[in-house]
Amino acid sequence: MSAPVLSQTGDMAVEAREIQVPSPRELARRRARRHIGLILGGAVVAFAVFVALLAPYLAPFDPYDQDLTQRLIGPVWQDGGSWVHPLGTDGFGRDYLSRLIYGARISLLIGFSAALIAGLLGSTLGIVGGYFGGTVDAAVVYLINVKLALPVVLVALSLAAIVGGSISSLILIMGFLTWDRYAVVTRSVTQQLRSREFVLSAQAAGASHGWILVREILPNVMNHIIVVASLEIAIIILIEAALSFLGLGVRPPTPSWGLMVAEGRSFLFFKPYLVVIPGIAIFLLVIAINMAGDGLRDVMSPEGRE
Amino acid sequence: MATLLHVDDLSVDIETPVGPLHAVSKVCVRGSSGETLCRVGESGCGKTMTALALMRLLPRRAAVRAGAITFEGRDLLTLSDADMAALRGDRLGMIFQDPMTSLNPVFTIGDQLEEVYRRHRAAGHREARERAEYLLQRIGIMSPALRLSQYPHELSGGLRQRMMIAMALMCGPSLIIADEPTTALDVTVQVQILRLLVELQREFRMALILITHNLGVVARVADQVAVMYGGTIVEAGRAADVFARPTHPYTRALLACVPVPGRTKQHGRLGSIPGIVPSLIGDVRSCAFRNRCDHAQPACAGEITVHEPAPGHAVRCLLAATSEVVR
């Protein structure tokens, strides 16, 4: 294809060069490069993931190692602090920086795993309901409504109290309590896609329902699922911290940020850094994930948002 | 010539809160290989419904009844869903109206073309790609490899519709149903696409069912014409007969709406048909056109039988009973 051709024959005219339209992916990439919230949030999340993955190499001490001779040493910027324990030590003499680093693992593990379970569950329900409609859809809508009527924290609290707060049970509880938004979003998107002609056209080409759901619908819904997931992860991390703080989440001595806040509570007046440091960590991670998720939505589906 | 497609008394009813809607009633189709059948009519007259019923792509809510639907000697009414799916895209191709939404935006053209072939032929990626490139060359695409690697949004409407045609041809079907394939395109591109369809149909000796509301199109390419109104065929026959001696008032009214270069006077009025398409709920044995017809008589409200002013030329109108054609 070279310069535009003006020609009588139809085929030449068709082959004449078209205006170069950037692909949706390329457009998204361009918008992403200019989106400060996405860049900042993404950087913080990436840093947290990096720290969590390399925790054994980055942490100066074993987070479980107690040393009662080194109790309650302040962080470097306070009197008595030293670079041996940059963030000080807690009531059992454990290195606070190491616990913070290992705590990132717990928060991210629970956040991502629970979001994965919820995403699978909610998206399946939403896509199936939106695609088949009728009774199937009515059943899905019923399930969504039931779920929406459940107070998440309260139910999570009582379930954690019943089955005990291991990490895997927390993941399962959260996974089964936060699938509703995926279902609502994928259902409405699927309903729109379903009436597009490429679905009918795939059917006319002999595709089965299962094939259409997985190969035609799912790739078109994926963007939306990712955006919902990024926002849900932040919520799950917050709930995990709340449960751990209330003593119904992760069990001590596992270093969870919520648990660290709870343990620091008894020293709140004299050693406030014990509460403030993990509190800041939770705050930063959650706001970063929210910014990144919000940015993803702006970048991927900017329609109707200013 | 052996009959490829044989449809007898096809009816489609859709249940609505105010009673059954007779979207299609008692439609017959007969097609042989190499033949072009055109179905003409305005929006909502049941053209698309007929096609979707043939493909068994209507939602379950729509009740399809027929005396017989046979295709290549197989009874489509009793075929299992899996066998029907195996037939679609393989022996039966379909092209839709809007090429903008008929292609999945997240896959390349090549992926979508290959998919059809690999599903029905159990062929590998390479073989399917070769077939796709060959077909694109056949339909006059200059750089097939480039086109196959592009996404739908990178192509113009005309090119996309060509890709849809190529997709329908991937498995070498014996029947192609094209549902208003040119409606969403520019006028200049319309002619190209239509010419291409007819050329391919002759070359591959397929039967083509062309659904359109453009009579100019029909006159150019059709072997058989069926004019539909209100879910029924009001006039059918060989294209030459129908255009030479249009008998049903609706057919004549439609023809009066088409400007003909040279014949239509410069400041003369184009024909128009007063009134609107009637509701299809309720009784449909009477003439659906009688409220808009200049020749309507009280008897039009009764049951209308089919008359044949010439062999093979069927008209569902009382006027056709008098052998003399009203001019």
Say what the pLDDT of residue B322 is. Answer: 65
Residue of B61, B104, B109, B112 for testing the chain A interface, max A β-carbons within 10 Å: B104
Mean pLDDT of chain A: 83
Give B320's contacts (C-beta < 8 A, 6+ positions apart).
Answer: B247, B248, B307, B308, B309
**Alpha carbons B290 and B296: distance in angstroms, whole number:** 5
- The partner residues of B237 in beta bridges, in order of sequence, read B225
CB contact under 8 A, A205 and B167: yes
**Alpha carbons B5 and B7: distance in angstroms, whole number:** 7
Phi, psi of A139 (to 5 degrees): -65, -45
**Alpha carbons A46 and A52: distance in angstroms, whole number:** 10
Say what the pLDDT of residue A208 is. Answer: 86
Tell me if A300 sits within 8 A of A227, measured CB to CB. Answer: yes
Do the strands B207-212 and B224-229 form a parallel or antiparallel pair, or are they unpaired? unpaired
Say what the pLDDT of residue B264 is. Answer: 66
Q: Which residue has the tokens 């949030």?
A: A41
Question: In whole angstroms, how far apart are CA B227 and each of A115, A242, B10, B61, B296?
Answer: 57, 71, 15, 26, 19
Under the banding of pLDDT at 50, 70 and 90, the label for residue A14 is very low
Tell me if B69 sits within 8 A of B10, measured CB to CB. Answer: yes
**Alpha carbons B261 and A269: distance in angstroms, whole number:** 95
Residue of B56, B102, B161 for testing the chain A interface, max A β-carbons within 10 Å: B102
Give the closest of A10, A14, A219 to B106, CB-based: A219
3-state secondary structure of B135: helix
Say what the pLDDT of residue A188 is. Answer: 92
pLDDT tens-digit map of B284-311: 677 888 888 878 888 888 888 888 888 8
The answer to whether residue B7 neighbours chain A at the CB level (below 8 Å) is no
pLDDT over threshold 50, residue A5: no
Considering only residues A146 and B17, tell me which one the structure prediction assigns the higher pLDDT.
Answer: A146
Say what the pLDDT of residue A109 is. Answer: 92
**Alpha carbons B65 and A306: distance in angstroms, whole number:** 52
pLDDT tens-digit map of A45-104: 999 999 989 888 888 888 888 877 878 777 778 777 787 788 878 878 788 888 989 988
**Alpha carbons B272 and A297: distance in angstroms, whole number:** 50
Residue of A5, A12, A14 for testing the chain B interface, max B β-carbons within 10 Å: A14
Give the closest of A1, A197, A201 to B143, CB-based: A1
**Alpha carbons B280 and B21: distance in angstroms, whole number:** 5
Amino acid, res. A157:
L
pLDDT over threshold 90, residue B139: no
Say what the pLDDT of residue A116 is. Answer: 95
The answer to whether residue A77 neighbours chain B at the CB level (below 8 Å) is no
Q: From A205, which residue of chain B is nearest by alpha-carbon distance?
A: B89
> What share of chain B has pLDDT > 90, as a percent?
2
**Alpha carbons B116 and A201: distance in angstroms, whole number:** 11
- C-alpha count within 13 angstroms, C-beta hemisphere, residue A209: 11
Q: How much is the average pLDDT of A163-192?
A: 90
Give the closest of A200, A205, A220 to B106, CB-based: A220
Tell me if A289 sits within 8 A of A39, measured CB to CB. Answer: no
The domain ranges of chain B are: 3-91+171-261+271-321, 92-170
3-state secondary structure of B8: strand
CB atoms within 10 A of CB A69: 5
Give the closest of B107, B116, B142 to A205, CB-based: B116
CB contact under 8 A, A206 and B89: yes
Give the closest of A21, A204, A208 to B55, CB-based: A204
Helices A36-53 and A96-132, packing angle to 10 deg: 120
- The partner residues of B93 in beta bridges, in order of sequence, read B176
CB contact under 8 A, B154 and A23: yes
Say what the pLDDT of residue A16 is. Answer: 45
pLDDT tens-digit map of A222-273: 888 988 898 898 889 888 888 888 888 888 888 888 888 888 888 888 888 8
The answer to whether residue B109 neighbours chain A at the CB level (below 8 Å) is no
CB contact under 8 A, A206 and B105: no
Residue of B81, B83, B106, B199 for testing the chain A interface, max A β-carbons within 10 Å: B106
Say what the pLDDT of residue A15 is. Answer: 46
Q: Measured between beta carbons, which residues in chain B are less than 8 angstroms from residue A24? A: 105, 153
**Alpha carbons A64 and A285: distance in angstroms, whole number:** 23
Q: How much is the average pLDDT of A292-303?
A: 76
**Alpha carbons B51 and B94: distance in angstroms, whole number:** 9
Considering only residues A68 and A122, tell me which one the structure prediction assigns the higher pLDDT.
Answer: A122
For the stretch A140-177, what's the b/e string if a residue is b when 16 or more beta carbons lie within 10 angstroms of its beta carbon? beebbeebeeeebeeebbebbeeeebebeebbbbbbbb
Q: Which residue has the tokens 């030449």?
A: A12
Greatest mean pLDDT among A108-112, A191-195, A290-294: A108-112
The answer to whether residue A7 neighbours chain B at the CB level (below 8 Å) is no
Say what the pLDDT of residue A112 is. Answer: 92
Under the banding of pLDDT at 50, 70 and 90, the label for residue A24 is low
Domain B3-91+171-261+271-321 belongs in CATH node 3.40.50.11540? no
Under the banding of pLDDT at 50, 70 and 90, the label for residue B324 is very low
Q: Distance from A273 to chain B by nearest Cα, in Å?
A: 50
Phi, psi of B219 (to 5 degrees): -60, -30
Q: What is the DSSP string of B27-74?
A: EEEEEETT-EEEEE--TTSSHHHHHHHHHT-S-TTEEEE-SEEEETTE
Q: How much is the average pLDDT of B241-270?
A: 78
pLDDT over threshold 60, residue A170: yes
Say what the pLDDT of residue A45 is. Answer: 92
**Alpha carbons B141 and B163: distance in angstroms, whole number:** 10
Q: How far apart are the first and last CA of chain A?
A: 38
Q: From A20, which residue of chain B is nearest by alpha-carbon distance?
A: B154
Say what the pLDDT of residue B262 is. Answer: 67
**ipTM value:** 0.75
B211: nearest Cα among B57, B10, B46: B46
**Alpha carbons B139 and B163: distance in angstroms, whole number:** 9
pLDDT tens-digit map of A278-296: 899 999 999 999 898 888 8
Under the banding of pLDDT at 50, 70 and 90, the label for residue A30 is confident
Considering only residues A179 and A223, tell me which one the structure prediction assigns the higher pLDDT.
Answer: A179
From the number of C-beta atoms within 10 Å of its C-beta (0-12, 13-18, 19+), residue A116 rates as: middle
B209: nearest Cα among B57, B79, B24, B52: B52
* Domain A24-62+94-300 -> CATH class: mainly alpha
The answer to whether residue B306 neighbours chain A at the CB level (below 8 Å) is no
A83: nearest Cα among A54, A116, A61, A114: A61
Q: Residue A237, by phi and psi: left (phi above 0), alpha (psi -120 to 50) or beta?
A: alpha
**Alpha carbons A204 and B97: distance in angstroms, whole number:** 13
Say what the pLDDT of residue A287 is. Answer: 92
The domain ranges of chain A are: 24-62+94-300
Under the banding of pLDDT at 50, 70 and 90, the label for residue B152 is confident
Amino acid, res. A234:
A
* Kind plus residue range of the DSSP H or E element containing B92: strand B92-95
Phi, psi of A176 (to 5 degrees): -85, -5
Say what the pLDDT of residue A61 is. Answer: 81
Q: What is the DSSP string of chain A?
A: --S----SSHHHHHHSPPP-PPPHHHHHHHHHHH-HHHHHHHHHHHHHHHHHHTHHHH-SS-TT---GGGTTPPPTTSTT--TTSTT-B-TT--BHHHHHHHHHHHHHHHHHHHHHHHHHHHHHHHHHHHHH-HHHHHHHHHHHHHHHHS-HHHHHHHHHHHH---HHHHHHHHHHHS-HHHHHHHHHHHHHHHTSHHHHHHHHTT--HHHIIIIIIHHHHHHHHHHHHHHHHHHHHHHHHHHHHTTSSSPTTS--HHHHHHHHGGGTTT-THHHHHHHHHHHHHHHHHHHHHHHHHHHH--TT--
pLDDT tens-digit map of B195-239: 888 888 888 888 999 988 777 778 878 888 999 888 888 888 888
Phi, psi of B318 (to 5 degrees): -65, -35
* pTM to 2 decimal places: 0.75
Say what the pLDDT of residue A301 is. Answer: 64
Q: How much is the average pLDDT of A20-31?
A: 71
Q: Distance from A3 to chain B by nearest Cα, in Å?
A: 14
Give A304's contacts (C-beta < 8 A, 6+ positions apart).
Answer: none
CB contact under 8 A, A206 and B88: yes
**Alpha carbons A167 and A101: distance in angstroms, whole number:** 17
**Alpha carbons A157 and A168: distance in angstroms, whole number:** 15
pLDDT tens-digit map of B89-107: 888 889 888 888 888 888 8
